[in-house]
Structure 1
């Protein structure tokens, strides 16, 4: 089997590092760099949303309206509605900022080649809990906006919209248990040597 041209030119140690899953020069280290960039970008977006929230506390809001996609139903944009929306956005971005922070720490252990640490079990559980809270918060916020703040402008989400996020939360908790078992096996193997 012939290697692709960019990989064929690499010296043998770099080639091994380029295709392995853990350690320096691995896929995990590339993903760690992408997570770092996403974390910085999301932190900036969260900061902008927080600044907008503060600005709209003092900005006069007069004669602003929003309508649904068909243009039939119009809703006045009041200060409470705008502040509620910006507050929900800040909470949503902040939740995912917490998730990215934990993911970055997990990928740091992957880059070091030592993923089965008890701290990673705690981190995965925190990711699952944060994802569950963010999902429930978005669902509740959209229901409140659709029912009370902007009826007819925004459709209510059904329970079916929660199936994929609930499945994702369960997968994260199962991964936490896999990491817990891996940490336990690692601890047992260290004791037998």
Structure 2
């Protein structure tokens, strides 16, 4: 029998593992959801802002009630700009309009902060895709749209009736940023709605 020939093949070298940069999972240096995360810090900031805004709104409402009884006819109000100014007698209707407008403005943002606090509470719990968050985001978008429209109308009325030629009303270009913000909020609401739907389907599948 012929002698067995030795195996002259070269040994296979181990193939080094090559990791491409774009396949490396990105990890944030901080925690975004759950207790002790950035969401919990923002939740604390929203709580503080909510309390402060509640106090401001309460003071404005008290001023609105006081304006019903305090005489204001002996006072004047002055509107000025770089070219000059105009002076108008301060009437009770004007005071009620001004205080009421500011009360509605801060009250609207108080409702927005209330919904945002509830949303960030779910983020702190690590469970953001809840059906209630969809409703809350839609309320935030609706209230923001109403506040934006109210400010635009109020400033237009003041510029036309009280300070013509001194105060300019808001143009359509100045509404682009608020309108964009409202649209972003409604898009986020749809994102949360889709996330809640996927979560519900996964729970039913399990």
- Separation in 1, partners of 2:132, 2:166: 45
Gap change, CA 1:128 and 1:96, over 3 Å in 2:
same
Contact (CA 8 Å) 1:32, 1:107: kept in 2 or not? yes
Matched, 1:32 2:39: no
Matched, 1:68 2:86: no
Matched, 1:49 2:31: no
Work out which of the residue numbers 177, 181, 185 in structure 2 matches 1:164: 177
Displacement after TM superposition at 1:60 (Å): 1.1
Contact (CA 8 Å) 1:75, 1:153: kept in 2 or not? no
Deviations 1:109-153 (A, max 9, x none): 001100000000000000000000000011011111111233234
Runs of at least 5 residues in structure 2 that lack an aligned partner in the other structure: 1-28
Higher share of residues assigned helix: 1
Give secondary structure in 1 for the equivalent of 2:127.
coil
Deviations 1:62-105 (A, max 9, x none): 13221313443222222211110111000000000000000000
- CA radius of gyration, larger in: 2
Please tell me the root mean square deviation across aligned C-alpha atoms, in Å. 1.5
Structure 1 runs (4+) greater than 6 angstroms displaced: none
Contact (CA 8 Å) 1:81, 1:149: kept in 2 or not? no
Give secondary structure in 1 for the equivalent of 2:68.
helix
Contact (CA 8 Å) 2:79, 2:163: kept in 1 or not? no
Displacement after TM superposition at 1:164 (Å): 0.3
**Count of residue pairs brought into register by the alignment:** 177
- Separation in 2, partners of 1:161, 1:126: 23
Q: So what's the TM-score if we normalise by structure 2?
A: 0.82
Q: So what's the TM-score if we normalise by structure 1?
A: 0.87
